[in-house]
Structure 1
Amino acid sequence: MVNQPLSEAVELPTTRPPGCPFDPPAELATLPSLVRMNFPDGHRGWLATTHATARAVFADPRFSVRYELGHNPLSDGGAMPAALPGDMLGVDAPEHTRYRKLLAGKFTVRRMAALTERVEQITAEHLDAMARTGGPVDLIDAFAFPVPALTICELLGVPAEDRDSFRESVAVVNDHEATVDERMAAYAKGEEYMRALVAAKRADPTDDLLSDLTDSDLDADELTGVGTLLLGAGLDTTANMLALGTFALLSHPDQLAELRARPDLGNQTVEELMRYLSIVHTTSRTALADLELDGQLIKSGETVALSLQAANRDPARFDEPDTFDIQRSAVGHLGFGHGPHQCLGQQLARVEMRVALPALVTRFPTLRLAVPAEDIPLRHDMDIYGVHRLPVTW
């Protein structure tokens, strides 16, 4: 095992090619599968850039997701505190296993498929509203945000009129230019609302997932944390996939025409967009012990940044990876992660995107950007990539 000298450590490439809003930074493709990296807070860790290496880290229990052990690869916002009760994204087994087993039955393929009809209704209602209003509209406000927002709110039992109150908080939590204190304050705002909602569900259960969980062994703090996590995770990611996915389709007229002609390609389109866009572009894990990875010694306490946008464009895993092709079989992409912490709500996200994207592009056959592509404001400053606005017309 040979470690690289300090002089060979890299900074995380973050600048995307000019005029190519869907492509990762070009420098990522020139790096080894595992390279020394200087983190913004001064930590000297690692960067994994290939599909095989990132997948191996995801699956290895010797790597931890605990916030307080890791170093942020995107910004120096200060040391993160330990995960709050119910936040299973920041805990390892056995705590994570307990949460995961409890929630896994709520997000099965079958249960999410049963939601399809309701997602179709929500989608149709918002497309009707767009048609009545006429273009141009900001697709995020008119469609990409409210469809997943209403879906997750109904699933959890959150009143629809309260959904907008979470939007700003979720944005701050995912802003990598925000400090840890700012992120924690935004999380606390959502948590305060959820705590009151949990108390209401305990007192008067209704037909929703949150009420179901009041019969579990989760205490009030844990149930509040789980609800806050699920609500936040179900909003920002899917909303940005719908918006950026539409932008990608409008920028590839041949693929857009293919989807309009063959709505049955909705499933493959979703998987290819997850691979091609990789909106959760960078994550990380921290070694709990000395271990070997790709012939390198990773020491206990060192954080490995995982570039999912590079891994999903790995030519060793996907042929012509920089080509957007909705007829590709993108099975095995890392857009939802991999291993024990693979995205719990991935089946819900798939249902929403499979329904919403084909419906949008077929309902408005002349859908197009309302401003030049280069004027679309991109979320370069966010943990979850996407667009701040997407003006469209038809």
Structure 2
Amino acid sequence: MESVLPRLPFQRRGIFDVPQELRAMQSGGDLVRVLTAAGDEAWLVTRYEDVRSLLADARLGRSHPAPRDAARLGNSALSTAGPVGSYASEQEDHARYRRRLTPAFSAKRMRLLRDSTEEVIRETLDTMSGLTPPVDLHQAFSMPVSLHVICRLLGVPYEDHDLFRSWFEGLAGMADLQKSSEARQAMGAYMAALAERKRDRPGEDLISDLVGSGDMTLASPAPGSEAVLDDLSYVAASLLFAGYRTTAIKIDYGAVLLLADEGQRAALRADPALAETAVEEVLRMSSPDHPLLRYAREDLVISGTTVRAGEAVLLSTLVANRDPSVFPEPDAFDISRDPNPHLSFGHGPRLCIGTTLARVEIAAALSMLCERFPGLRLSVPHEELTRRTDMMMGGLARVPVEW
């Protein structure tokens, strides 16, 4: 009888625990055949050195020669859930994509954003202080901070945030591909219309820069179309989603890690300079359930196993960031951990382009939150907090706090 393949995501006992199945796979060291949440077969990579090496391996890509037949992580239209871009020109397209976006994340612009980020955080903390606890930290703090900052970078009106949040929920949902696709199309149409307005009235923002470059498609994507790196609406929507959702999740997790560990919180209060290493440890400890999706562009051998061209390869940063061969006491939260070569932003040519902004934002958010609310505490034991398993990006369902 044919054996049943293990299916992702695996059950986690606590919000920061690594599933036992992943531990066992990492200890074995072999490549493992699994089913994704969408029910498609893929190869899962768990060891740190393998994940790190493959993140920079040009034999793996994000595109697929037959995209409609490609394995998917889940039933979501989010770009991380399936193939993206042209198979024939993926590397050239990606290099051009990076060149376009690099100026937006220049040292000069990051210095300007640092000041405005701290301003946003102060204003959000002022608003939060007027609420009656307990409050949901995600709704009162993490979400508005991250959304304000990315909206300023992109030049997107923050007053439309209710629209964005609705689209984010639909786009990242894993149960209904049709609903997710509709959310992606609506968000793309919004971004296309915004880009057209900025053609006539450009500002000091990334979307204006991309419009001014003159070499991106501004039209709204057609229903069911594949994501294209030259489509401005896709690029802008992807950055808005990543800048909001991912950063807000990391702020949530960072706050919980600190609130659940009085020793580490006291250390940060005593030495604010630890904020930088604290951020790296938060990033390491808060990897999502779902791995990074890649497709083999040719036959290759990984850990002694032959992977055929077109097959899906899943790179689990969740367990790679807890590999005991790289991280002593891998499950311990230690804000002074150094070195901390986690893979939460990827590695190699596809290293997340917004790493500097994310680090600045998370560090400032956690430091200023602890300073403004020295008596901040969780309203429930951290063991009772739950993760969102219905969303591609995961995150915590709620973070109830009081002070």
Match of 1:148 in 2: 146
Alignment of 1:74-89 (within 5 A): 74=74, 83=84
> Paired residue for 2:211, among 211, 214, 217?
214
In structure 1, the residue corresponding to 2:246 is in which secondary structure? helix
Q: Structure 2 counterpart of 1:150, which letter? A: H
Do the aligned partners of 1:243 and 1:390 also contact (CA within 8 Å) in 2? yes
1:252 pairs with one of 234, 258, 261: 261
Cα shift at 1:13: 5.0
Secondary structure at the counterpart of residue 314 of structure 2: strand
| Match among 263, 280, 283 for residue 271 of structure 1 | 280
Give the deviation of 1:82 after TM superposition. Answer: 5.8
Equivalent position amino acid for 2:62 in 1: V
- In the aligned structure 1, how far is the partner of 2:377 from the partner of 2:85? 43
8 Å CA contact 1:241–1:279 kept in 2: the answer is no
Name the CA shift for 1:97/1:136 in 2 (closer, same or farther; >3 Å): same
Match for residue 56 of structure 1 among 50, 53, 56: 53
**Residues 184-199 of structure 1 aligned to structure 2 (within 5 Å):** 184-199=181-196
1:14 has 2:23 as partner: no
80, 83, 93: which one pairs with 2:91? 93
Partner SS, residue 292 of structure 2 = strand
Letter paired with 2:365: A
Unpaired segments of 5 or more residues in structure 1?
none
Q: For structure 1, which segment, 357-366 or 272-281, has the greater mean C-alpha deviation from structure 2 after superposition?
A: 272-281
CA contact (8 A) 1:84 1:225 kept: no
Q: 1:137 to 1:65 in 2, by over 3 A?
A: same
Contact 1:173 1:183 in 2 (8 A): yes
Aligned-pair distance for 1:219?
A: 2.6
Tell me the equivalent position of 1:380.
389
Specify the SS of the correspondent of 1:167: helix
Shift of 1:124: 0.6
CA distance in 2, matches of 1:296, 1:81: 23
Shift of the 359–64 alpha-carbon distance from structure 1 to 2, 3 Å rule, reads same
Other structure's SS at 1:186 match:
helix
> In 1, Cα distance between the equivalents of 2:120 and 2:35?
45
Percent of aligned positions with the same letter in both sequences? 40
Alignment partner of 1:23 is 2:17: yes
Secondary structure of 2:232 counterpart: helix
1:112-151 aligned at under 5 Å gives the runs: 112-151=110-149
Query: Structure 1 CA distance, aligned partners of 2:52 and 2:190?
Result: 36
Compared with structure 1, are the counterparts of its residues 317 and 81 closer, same or farther at alpha carbon in structure 2 (3 Å cutoff)?
A: closer
Q: Quick one: which of 227, 237, 249 aligns to 2:246? A: 237
Q: Is the Cα–Cα contact under 8 Å of residues 153 and 163 in structure 1 kept in the other structure?
A: no
Deviation at 1:9, TM superposition (A): 4.8
In structure 2, the CA distance between the partners of 1:279 and 1:11, relative to structure 1 (3 Å rule), is: closer
* 1:43–1:164 distance in 2 versus 1, CA, 3 Å: closer
Distance 1:182 1:264, change over 3 A: same
Contact 1:41–1:76 (CA<8 Å) still a contact in 2? Answer: no
CA displacement at 1:265 relative to structure 2: 0.7
C-alpha separation between the residues in 1 aligned to 2:236 and 2:2? Answer: 43
Partner SS, residue 366 of structure 1: coil
Tell me which of 363, 366, 390 is aligned to 2:399: 390
CA distance in 1, matches of 2:383, 2:328: 28
Deviation, structure 1 residue 392: 0.7
Structure-2 change in CA distance of 1:147 and 1:39 (3 Å): closer
Question: Paired residue for 2:160?
Answer: 162
1:355-366 to 2 correspondences below 5 Å: 355-366=364-375
Q: Determine the C-alpha separation between the residues in 2 that align with 1:263 and 1:72.
A: 42
| Equivalences for residues 266-345 of structure 1 within 5 A | 266-279=275-288, 281-345=290-354
Of residues 59, 63, 66, the one that matches 1:66 is 63
Distance 2:396 2:38 in 1: 27
Question: Cα deviation per residue 1:184-235 (whole Å; 9 max; x = unaligned)?
Answer: 1111111121111101100111221211222212231422222111111111
Check the 8 A contact 1:268/1:328 in 2, yes or no: yes
Structure 1 residue 281 displacement after superposition: 4.2
1:369 corresponds to: 378
TM-score relative to the length of structure 2: 0.88
Amino acid at match of 2:142: A
Q: Distance in 1 between matches of 2:32 and 2:171?
A: 28
